[in-house]
Amino acid sequence: MLIDGISRKSIESNDNYEVKIIDQTILPHKLEYIDLKNFSDCCKAIKDMWVRGAPLIGVTASYGMFFALKENSSKKNIEYSFKKLLATRPTAVDLKWALENITDVILQINENDRADHVWGIARKLEADSIEQCSKIGDYGLEVIKSRIKNNKTFNILTHCNAGWLACVDWGTALAPIYKAYNSGLDIHVWVDETRPRSQGAALTAWELSKHGVPNTLIVDNAGGHLMQRGEVDICIVGSDRTAANGDVCNKIGTYMKALCAFDNDIPFYVAIPESTIDFKLKSGVNNIKIEERSHNEVTHVRGINEEGKISKVKITPDFVKSHNPGFDVTPARLVTKLITDRGICDPTTDSIRKLFK
Amino acid sequence: MLIDGISRKSIESNDNYEVKIIDQTILPHKLEYIDLKNFSDCCKAIKDMWVRGAPLIGVTASYGMFFALKENSSKKNIEYSFKKLLATRPTAVDLKWALENITDVILQINENDRADHVWGIARKLEADSIEQCSKIGDYGLEVIKSRIKNNKTFNILTHCNAGWLACVDWGTALAPIYKAYNSGLDIHVWVDETRPRSQGAALTAWELSKHGVPNTLIVDNAGGHLMQRGEVDICIVGSDRTAANGDVCNKIGTYMKALCAFDNDIPFYVAIPESTIDFKLKSGVNNIKIEERSHNEVTHVRGINEEGKISKVKITPDFVKSHNPGFDVTPARLVTKLITDRGICDPTTDSIRKLFK
């Protein structure tokens, strides 16, 4: 998508084995590119969340495997690097999927050719992700078009960041939005702040604004009121992990937005690439272990201080305890449809299986 | 309630005509008492939100009238002071109610006795508020007792701050919690951060902790997940304005918590003093104009910086627009019961009328 008129991607590679990412931890205050030059850069990039979002983590991890094998392509190092990369974000399904994708084939290849082969896999994964997100965008665009009933601005609510910053390009939940905007539709996006990490405020509002898509930031508490007052026409969110029955595990707070949409007869769509579907997981509610994240995310907020520097403030005294579950599960009964790269389907075991058989 | 073992109130007065408040704008980072010595101190305390919460504003305004009349008890000055105080927080219902309470009687009294008479009214209002909140606490305690089914810790979720800091003592939503804790029940409170002003993080977690009540701060997004996982036994919130049919206008985000409670069969109680019931308002949903508050509340967050000073950070670049509705309306159908100072009632026109006839 565009940054001030110039087309960019969240991870960029070239034929000289160079890989570049955006440090997303300092967005929206600074735009800085970082070169990933070795295995430990890639681990750090994932662990410290310079990159985040399932697809982008998968691609970054694949480049990590390339750098690892460039140094040492032995079976032992493959296993070590696999474990090390997996531990950077233990709950990210795409990470595991991308790494298994590599280890499934790599041992059958001559040790000297392994690094180059993995480079090819990583490059293909990067290109496939763009293609996949673009398709989600195309199918989602049809959904939006079919929901527009009058000449008024069409209002879309989204939670967290499932945009191009989370993928390589286009995004998942934001892909239909970019496609709609690019095709000239009159749309506007309500952006949930998405505490505690505030990816909505920091990333979604930034990337939509930079591309030119009209949007307004709201606190996570406000969406219900807007839906009740008829100011939301559709919700589109992403998914970190989707159970075989259509239950959706996504950023904490998604479940409440789905409940509000349901209570107000507003369609609630979830945009997912195939990789986030966990076909082995029959259902999601109460079956997914939810990651408990650092309490500092709740008690500290990052921003620009009065001197114009990026800094953090602590919002509570040390004696205040906090709890920080990272995700929640939205039951399939609250999801209108899934928007996938293979088309639209119902959030049911049968419908999902039919599309992805 | 207690602050580190010592009993305190949000406003304290004595027989020497001295009035003291807590500067709530610097909580939870600093505890500072401020003496209100004259009329303009009282105006400033309300306008700059050193005091907030409907009952506390009403009491502070009454002391403001006392100081005004101590200087000059003429009709002209009564009218001037009334207008001046009313303008400090134009939307606060209790403020207007408290001032009218005074002006209704004061002109019939000898000019020399007026100040003393208003002092008496203010002291009575202060005492009445404590009594009223204490009764809400007693009725709410019975609710909690009746809901405890086993020996496990009983988990209560609350939104925003409806504690003693918003009243004079006890609070509304927190009154049953203090009574339960004081009577030795094994309780724990989930405290919603309550963006954008974060009164949960700044005030509720502080006052509960200072009194000794076990509590844990969560972001506003987390409550739904906790309810889905059986970690919430009851929700208790306050109300800024309650329609005659039991629709509840409260801090933005309340509606979503009520939906979650409903979806998970968790009782959702609203604690209200009589003064917040608007008997003229038949129903609340779509009939209450919601205050649009400053966008700075969304884009700026206050806390302690790395040098230990209270300061603000800006979380978004200037090109990001925001929208900030201050309240939302929870339909009566999602409310289990109302806890009032006259007893418990259903959130229906008949049941409310019966209790307050």
User: Considering CB atoms only, which of B253, B256, B315 is closest to A198?
Assistant: B315
Q: Is residue A323 domain-shared with residue A211, that is, in the same domain?
A: yes
**Residues of A forming the active site:** 240
Do A96 and A240 lie in a common domain? no
Cite the DSSP H helix spans in chain A. 39-47, 54-71, 75-86, 93-106, 114-147, 175-182, 199, 205-211, 223-228, 254-263, 296-299, 349-356
Residues A282, A200 share a domain? yes
Give the pLDDT confidence of A108-147 residue by residue, as tens digits.
Answer: 999 999 999 999 999 999 999 999 999 999 999 999 999 9
Q: What's the pLDDT at B41?
A: 98
| B72, B102, B128 - which closes a domain | B128
Q: Do A253 and B319 touch (CB under 8 A)?
A: no
The reply to whether A152 and A119 lie within a common domain is no
- With contacts defined as CB-CB under 8 Å, which chain A residues touch B314? 303-304
CA distance B283 to B352: 13
Q: Cβ separation of A229 and B286 shorter than 8 Å?
A: yes
**CB pairs below 8 Å between A and B: how many?**
216
- Please list every residue in chain B whose beta carbon sits closer than 8 Å to the beta carbon of residue A224: 253, 255-256, 259, 328
**φ, ψ at B238 (rounded to 5°):** -95, -170
Q: Could you report the predicted ipTM of this complex, rounded to two decimals?
A: 0.95
Answer yes or no: is pLDDT of A276 > 90. Answer: no
Q: Which residues of A touch B252 (CB under 8 A)?
A: 219, 221-222, 225
- Token pair, residue A65, equals 């495997």
Q: Using CB atoms, which residue from B209, B217, B263 is nearest to A298? A: B217
Measure B134 CA to nearest chain A CA, in Å.
26
Q: Looking at the complex, report in whole angstroms how far the Cα of residue A142 sits from the nearest Cα belonging to chain B.
A: 28
Per-residue pLDDT for A92 more than 90? no
Band of the pLDDT at B55, cuts 50, 70, 90?
confident
**Based on the domain organization, do B179 and B43 belong to the same domain?**
no
For residue B340, what pLDDT is reported? Answer: 98
Contact: B324, A206; criterion CB under 8 Å? no
Helix (H) or strand (E) holding B303: strand B300-304
Q: For position B122, which CATH number holds?
A: 1.20.120.420
In a domain, B134, yes or no: no
In this prediction the pTM is: 0.95
Residue A178 domain flag:
yes
Which of B94, B128, B162 is the endpoint of a domain? B128
What CATH code is carried by the domain that includes residue B350? 3.40.50.10470
The count of domains in chain B is: 2
State pLDDT tens for residues A153-164: 999 999 999 999
Its domain, for residue B68, covers 2-128
| pLDDT exceeds cutoff 80 at A186 | yes
Q: Are residues A273 and A187 in the same domain?
A: yes
Main-chain phi, psi angles of A154, to 5 degrees: -90, 120
Q: Helix B75-86 crosses helix B93-106 at what angle (to 10 degrees)?
A: 170
Contact check, Cβ <8 Å, B298/A255: no
For residue A306 the two structure tokens come to 């009065």
Q: How confident is the model at residue A190 (pLDDT cuts 50, 70, 90)?
A: very high
Cα four-point dihedral sign A239, A243, A244, A246: negative
Of A221, A224, A321, the CB nearest to B217: A321
DSSP letter assigned to residue B203: I
Same domain? A210 vs A300: yes
C-alpha–C-alpha distance, residues B190 and A323, integer Å:
9
Going A102 to A104 to A110 to A111, the CA torsion angle's sign is positive
Using an 8 Å CB-CB cutoff, list chain B residues near A260. 255-256, 259
Residues B249 and B107 in one domain: no
Tell me, yes or no, whether A184 lies in a domain: yes
Judgement on whether residues B161 and B108 belong to the same structural domain of the protein: no
Q: What is the mean pLDDT of residues B189-217?
A: 98
Contact B299 A196 (CB under 8 A): no
Nearest neighbour of B301 by CB, restricted to A209, A253, A313: A313
Report if residue B83 sits inside a domain. Answer: yes
Per-residue pLDDT reduced to its tens digit, A25-80: 999 999 999 999 999 999 999 999 999 988 899 999 999 999 999 999 999 999 99
Here the tokens at position B9 are 């109130």
- Cross-strand pairs, A241: A249
Question: Are A99 and A178 in the same domain?
Answer: no
Tokens 């949409």, residue located: A261
Query: In the structure, what pLDDT confidence band is assigned to residue A275 with cuts at 50, 70 and 90?
Result: confident
A281 with A197, same domain? yes
How does pLDDT run across A194-203, given as a tens digit for each residue? 999 999 999 9
Chain A: closest CA distance from residue B350 (Å): 25
- Domain end, chosen from B95, B128, B161, is at B128
Pick the residue from chain A with its C-alpha nearest to B202. A316
